A and B are shown apart, each in its own frame.
Chain A
Amino acid sequence: MTDNRQGTPEERRKQRFFNKSAATSVKYLRKIDELPHKPASLDPFLNILKHVFVDMQGAVKPAGTLSVGTYCVMVPPELIYAAGAMPVKLCGGSYTAFNIGDDIAPRDACPLVKAVMGFESIGVMPVYRECELMAVPITCDCKKKLAGYLSERRKTVTLHVPTGRSRDGDMEHYVKELYQFSEELTKITGKPLSYERLSWACGLTAAAQYELSRFIELRRRAPLVIKGTHYLAALNALSYTHVSIWTQYMRALCDETERRIQNGEMASKENRPRILVTGSPIVFPNFKLPLLIEEMGGALVADETCMGERGAYDPPAIADQTTDGIMRALANKSTRPCTCPTFTDNKRRVYRIMQMLEDYGVQGVIYHVLRGCLVYDYEYRVLEEEMGKLGIPIIRVESDYNEEDVEQLRIRVEAFIELIKYGRGGDTAVRLRKGQR
């Protein structure tokens, strides 16, 4: 018997991983690409996703920039840019990596963390390999254990996020964490903390947030001007791109959107039920839910997820133009406005969603829960109660990182959309948009 296969079993395993995960990414990229009314200026964003997940290249950045892997929105990118490196958000959405991680993490762990562990254990994705440092905020239990797992293999910094936010001490504690983080960054880049660099980095991200805000304003004016899936893809691309590049792409997208609004070209018909997605993060290539909504005749007008709009939404308000002032502003913006359910008191999330209902004229809310994501699951009840008071239908959708549940999801999403189309919800949304309660 001759073994005519090439390479060691380990190499073949890696090759299989490459092929499988690239195939999934290609499939979802094609689906996103094939959705009608795609703006031309969305292509650069899709190219970034292709660059990272299909061509298996590293993050898109100027040559010679170091990468720092980050895991939640609580890591302020400004600090990393100030140190001369760039942040890469590594929360994984890959089904292939999830299957590998399934053997490492316990059964009930969330698929996002399983995917990250899978990526780490197989160790072939350049986006993961090239990171010099991992920054893991201690948020939910899975992230906590992930930090432990990562620190065994990689240089890892943990950021202890306070669980409450009402006391001043909580925020001051996080400021301390950020100073510690900045020292770790200095160790790898050799660039010490300075006011000039911090201020420059804040300007860099502020430019991106300016364009993002412009886009949000445009979309508030015309929620249907872009498909939500396209928007989610653009924001997912930010995780793997140097912010200066992303800003330019976003600017082009804003300009095109503005033109479209002027010409009255909408991406969906006016009568399509307007849906808001909230809950567990939707990470490329796990785009089944947004794609399903759009395929089933809904219009995804807003998202409140941390790989979507929330990831870059909160700007630092620098009230004191000093090094410490900026550090405080960064700590402030990373913890206080954050709607992550790992905080004990999270009424602001309900308010935030209520505001979004009004801004985008939302008719129904789809609550996305990744299997095992306990903290988001806890908050469903609170939100359901509040939405009940407002008369907005809400549905909880649980999914995992595989394609076996797509058809089940399809039925539920379709039924929900039909419900809005022919039943409740419609008139409430109109009332909300007019500002009457």
Chain B
Amino acid sequence: MKKKVIGKILFAAFAAALCAGAYFAADITFFQFGGEEYQETGAALFTSEWFSAMLPFGLILLVSAVCIALDVLLRKLLYKKKKLPVGKTGITARDKRKKRFVFGFETVRWGVMILSFALLIYGGRLFGTVFTNVQLPVFACPYNLEQLTNAGCYYFSHLDVLFSESWQAILAFFGTFLVCAVLLGRVLCGFVCPMGFLQDVAHEARQALHIEGISLNEKMYAVLRLVKWVMLIIFLGVGFIGGNFCDFCPAAAVSPALAGFKLSLGLGGFIMVIVLVSGFFKRRCFCNVCPLGFILGLTHKLSLFKLKKNAVACTECGACYEACPMGIKSIFTEREGKDIKKLDVTTSDCIMCGECVRRCPENNALAITFCGKKIYNADRMKFMKQYAPKPDKYAPFRGKDKP
């Protein structure tokens, strides 16, 4: 009982600190940069100016790397003598066996992510700002003026600014948002958002190093959900009380810097370190608390992309839940419904990353559909190919007592 009260007080304190941080974010800078004038164009790539603009981001990467290394070392020290090292074996390894490459949805997703990352950061430089009226609802910082489109995050976090615009602008904003949300929904999170891409890169780095992460369970996801609500209130409301979300938005530390725009590091840079480190240990951790993603997910019932489950084919092995970066449990527990062979298991959290379908070992048990047409289907043979070595590389039998 007491523990619960303490937990609630701690959480309230954390939320209050977050809100206060959001409000005073502009005053908290941990890396001051000379010359705060608003740049019109980014520095040319690989010039000294570009490198100096990259400096804050480089610092973030460095601090994150140090944090991760410290964490791994600390864990090794702390749990050295632990009797039962559940999740804390501290084993890091280099696996020399080559994994079989299987072309699939995952490959396409990575391709799209890299492409959109490049376009959102350098697209304007190549093609000019093409879609001036489209406010793509992803965290691609609008301080970077050389993006292909505008980022919708700005108006959402500055609703006061939006409402002072003309009604056409307001209509255009909500119109494009609705179209994006219905057509794509949180597919934008899984495929387009540069923040998501960075977190996925951090996750892949951990996979390559085989460092143990943090496996969340229901309770921890519930805490993250609470954090998400606080973030959402700050995201939508901080503009009305005179704050500026951009002062503490982690995305502000990324895309302007990469494009060569000089920006000082405020609280946002600090939060970006948290995003990278947490994303390293828990896949897409920030996406779990992302306010913009939550707003995008609201329309999941109308979205054209759906996740369908065949409850009869499903063995409820929980692989999808284990693989899901968003911790959606209903995908594995759902089994009753009107048509048990075509259950709609899309939730507002789903970012359509396709991990669940990729890890699903049952034919047709899970599928991603677009306008009712299956575009990615679970397949047992494909699943097995990810794990099994090629038949000619099976471990040979060496022994005398062969029957």
Contacts and interface: CB of A to CB of B under 8 A. Distances in A.
Interface in B198-219: 206-207, 210-213, 215, 217-219
B318 interface: yes
A166 interface: yes
Sorted from nearest, which 6 A-B pairs have the closest CB atoms?
A: A317-B319, A337-B317, A62-B399, A210-B388, A206-B387, A319-B323
27 contacts: A47-B403, A48-B403, A50-B403, A63-B401, A166-B333, A168-B217, A168-B218, A179-B86, A183-B84, A193-B91, A199-B97, A206-B388, A206-B389, A209-B388, A211-B391, A216-B380, A244-B397, A315-B383, A315-B384, A319-B319, A322-B210, A322-B211, A324-B213, A329-B319, A333-B317, A336-B317, A351-B335
B265 to A, nearest CB: 32
B316 A194 contact: no
A329 B387 CA distance: 13
Given A217-B380, A337-B317, A332 B397 contact: no
Interface residues of A, number: 72
B402 interface: yes
Interface stretch (A14-22, A143-151, A170-178): A170-178
- Contact residues of B: prevailing secondary structure: loop
Interface string A174-190: 01100110010000000
Interface of A: 44, 47-48, 50-51, 57, 60-63, 165-169, 171-172, 175-176, 179-180, 183, 193-196, 199-200, 202-204, 206-207, 209-211, 213-214, 216-217, 242, 244-245, 247-248, 251, 314-325, 328-329, 332-333, 336-337, 339, 347-348, 351-352, 354-355, 358
- Contact residues of A: prevailing secondary structure: helix
A204 B313 CA distance: 26
Given A176-B84, A354-B312, A209 B318 contact: no
A320 B215 contact: yes
A62 B215 contact: no
B93 interface: yes
A207 B388 contact: yes
A213 B384 contact: yes
Contacts of A325: 212-213, 215
Interface in B151-200: none
B400 interface: yes
A83 B393 CA distance: 21
Contact of A351 (B207, B312, B399, B400): B312
Given A62-B399, A168-B219, A314-B361, 4 more contacts: A245-B402, A317-B383, A324-B87, A336-B317
Interface centre among A62, A179, A319, A336 (most CB of B within 10 A): A319
B86 A245 contact: no
B349 interface: no
A199 B95 contact: yes
A337 B319 CA distance: 9
B381 interface: yes
Given A324-B215, A332-B319, A251 B312 contact: no
Contacts of B403: 44, 47-48, 50-51, 60
Given A62-B398, A320-B213, A176 B207 contact: no
A323 B209 CA distance: 11
A328 B359 CA distance: 14
Interface centre among A211, A251, A325, A355 (most CB of B within 10 A): A355
A401 to B, nearest CB: 26
A329 B384 contact: no
Interface string B205-241: 0110011110101110000000000000000000000
